[in-house]
């Protein structure tokens, strides 16, 4: 892409093609889920709270990818989902 040009639109169908229909993409998504979908940290005071917020941020990326795949497959967005 050239400087100053408008980037192409990324669509839910692209997420589906990459992460659901391409064998390597399936493996990558499984790895991302394994790495970044961790439970809340329950012990450790304020450090646990900070770690939990960090994990929630990481998991938010996974939720976005899965939501885009679901949209491409015809699912309606869940309440609170947005395109941000």
Residues 6+ apart with CB under 8 A from 27: none
Coil, strand or helix at 39:
coil
Rounded to two decimals, what is the model's pTM?
0.72
As a whole number of angstroms, the distance between CA 30 and CA 68 comes to 15
pLDDT at position 84 is 47
pLDDT at position 82 is 59
Q: What is the pLDDT of residues 14-61, one digit of tens each?
A: 999 999 999 999 999 999 999 998 888 888 899 999 989 888 998 999
List C-alpha distances in Å: 62 to 40, 73, 78: 16, 17, 15
Coil, strand or helix at 26:
helix
């Amino acid at each position: 892409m050239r400087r100053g040009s408008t980037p192409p639109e990324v669509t839910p169908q692209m997420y589906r093609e990459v992460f659901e229909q391409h064998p390597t993409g399936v493996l990558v998504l499984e790895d991302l889920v394994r790495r970044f979908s961790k439970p809340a940290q329950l012990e450790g005071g304020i450090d646990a709270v900070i770690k939990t917020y960090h994990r929630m941020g990481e998991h938010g990326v996974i939720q976005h990818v899965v939501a885009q795949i679901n949209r491409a497959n015809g699912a309606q967005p869940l309440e609170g989902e947005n395109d941000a």
